[in-house]
Amino acid sequence: MKQSEINNLSAADLQAKLVQLKKTYNDLKMAHAISPIENPLQMRTLRRSVARIATEITKRELQ
């Protein structure tokens, strides 16, 4: 997810997206532990998207 897309979301949308991405990341991580996934770079992009959204939530709480 790009930063410009994250900035356009509301606080409730950010929380929902964060929960969804964390679940997707955990599912992908479990699948990779059992048998190697086809594109392991997906894990990196998901992890970074989670971090971007978490950072945006924290930034909005501090304002």
Please spell the DSSP secondary structure of 2-46, one letter per residue.
-HHHHHTS-HHHHHHHHHHHHHHHHHHHHHHHHS--S-THHHHHH
Would you tell me the crossing angle of helices 11-34 and 41-62 to the nearest 10 degrees?
Answer: 150
Res 53: pLDDT: 97
pTM recorded for the entire structure = 0.90
Res 22: pLDDT: 98
Res 1: pLDDT: 82
User: Which bin fits 56, alpha (ψ -120 to 50), beta or left (φ > 0)?
Assistant: alpha
Question: What pLDDT, in 10s, does the model give residues 26-55?
Answer: 999 999 999 999 999 999 999 999 999 999
How far, in Å, CA of 21 to CA of 1, rounded? 10
Q: Domain containing 11: what range?
A: 3-62
What is the number of structural domains in the chain? Answer: 1
